[in-house]
Amino acid sequence: MAIQKSEFYRPDFHSLEPGHHLISIYESRREQMAAVVPFLHRGLAQGAKTVFVTHDLGPKRILDSLAREGHDVETLRIRGQLVPLRSDESYIQGGFFSADRALVDLVHLIEQTAREGWPYLCLTGEVNWALLPIPGVEQLWRYEAEAHAIISQSECVALCQYDLDTFGKGFQRKVVGCHSHMAAGTQLFKVH
């Protein structure tokens, strides 16, 4: 599936619901932010526990964008509804990636969200860490496939962010198939 550039890149996430596992393939920071911010905004507006994992982007830019959308990010963070993490605090803790650990962490986060009384988990993560020369990154595709199975049966909606220029076009077929939906341009496509 070829990704077409769009002058106005802001997917419509209104049809999303828990159990959806999305992929956003972007070619610029503008495109990345135009998908991530409305995705997080929707989760926050619906009262979901909202977690985002950054790598290259960093949390400040997302927090500032959410504040411009009208969110009191400090209050949301104190309340535990908005949780920013860096990839080294999540996916690549300790300098390596383990699909098994990441899957256990995902299940734990979904269960914790329910225990805390949030209606669902809204989760997004930047995946550029997978290009680092660290042990375990070859497990990413297994993680994506198994995470899809978990997410599709849970009170979680997730958006995985892939930089087309960094990953290259060859990865598209493999990674897109691990997701239920794809955000491209202003459109949200059902993958399967």
Q: Which helix (H) or strand (E) element contains residue 99?
A: helix 99-115
Domains and CATH numbers, the chain: 21-190 (3.40.50.300)
> At residue 111, does pLDDT exceed 60?
yes
Q: How many Cα atoms within 13 Å fall on the side-chain side of residue 76?
A: 23
pLDDT digits (tens, 9 = 90+) for 26-83: 888 888 898 899 999 999 999 999 999 998 888 999 999 999 999 999 999 999 999 9
